[in-house]
Each structure stands twice: as C-alpha cells, then as structure tokens.
C-alpha cells in the first residue's frame, strides 16, 4: 500500500510495501516487505532493505544503508506506560550511517561516520563515530 507518499526522482520501491505519509527523496531504494510510517523523511541515495520497519518521527539523512529487518522504535515505555498519540520521541540518523540487519534503534541520534552491527540494540545517542555492536550497542573500534 502506498498512501500520501512524496517521492523524488529515481525512487525504487519493490512491492509489497506499506508506506504512508512519508517522504522519499531522490535515488532512494525501498525493498519489499518494508513499512514506513507518517512523518518519516528518507533523504537521497539511501537504501532500505527488506522487512524493515521505520516508525513515525524518524529522519534518515543521505547516503545511508539500512539492512534487512531493522526495527525503529519511537516509544521507550516511559513511566511504566506507553506514550499517547503525539507524545512519541524522534530518531535522527545522520549522513552515511550504516545499520546492519536485525538491529533495533530506539529514539536516538546517530552521528555521521557510524556503523551499527547486525543485531545491535541502540538505546542511547551515538555522538562519536565508529563501529557499535551488542545489546546495548557499545563502541567496538
């Protein structure tokens, strides 16, 4: 399903997908079985692999790679309860970030020059470039 999706030039979408209320800039690739929710912006030359879920209030800058089955989460279950509609946190992935398959990304900022290993769980902002892996994700090198 594609609903209210704004696309730039040369965007490739491999269906089936579930995209609604999002913006895909020039040269973005979206693989099959991906869901991208409203208020998401995917900047140019970014590749989203299959089975990935990108929740509302997420921005992914240019030249990023998002592996298979990556899950973005925008509700940290604060104060012992789920956030109400409109109270969700934001996620910002800076330019050139690479995220390995099956990683889980909570509402965080990830800086330019960062690689997230497969299966990592990112629970806090990453402000120093490098390779991060584990649960929770920690700087490896």
Query: What positions carry a catalytic annotation?
Result: 51
Rounded to whole angstroms, the Cα distance separating 53 from 57 reads: 12
Number of structural domains in the chain: 1
Q: Which residue reads 């991208």 in tokens?
A: 36
Domain that holds residue 38: 2-139
Give the CATH number, domain containing residue 63.
2.160.10.10
pLDDT, position 80: 72
Chunked mean pLDDT (size 10), the chain, 141 residues: 96 98 98 97 98 97 98 79 75 98 97 98 97 98 74
Write the burial class of residue 43 (CB in 10 Å: 0-12 exposed, 13-18 middle, 19+ buried). buried
């Amino acid at each position: 399903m594609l609903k209210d999706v704004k696309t730039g030039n040369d965007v490739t979408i491999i269906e089936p997908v579930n995209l609604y209320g999002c913006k895909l800039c020039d040269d973005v690739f979206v693989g099959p079985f991906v869901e991208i929710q409203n208020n998401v912006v995917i900047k140019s030359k970014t590749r989203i692999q299959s089975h990935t879920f990108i929740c509302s209030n997420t921005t992914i800058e240019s030249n990023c790679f998002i592996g298979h089955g990556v899950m973005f989460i925008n509700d940290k279950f604060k104060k012992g309860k789920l956030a109400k509609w409109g109270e969700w946190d934001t996620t910002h992935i800076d330019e050139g970030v690479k995220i390995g398959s099956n990683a889980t990304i909570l509402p965080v900022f990830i800086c330019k020059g960062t690689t997230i290993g497969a299966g990592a769980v990112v629970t806090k902002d990453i402000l120093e470039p490098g390779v991060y892996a584990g649960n929770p994700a920690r700087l490896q090198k």
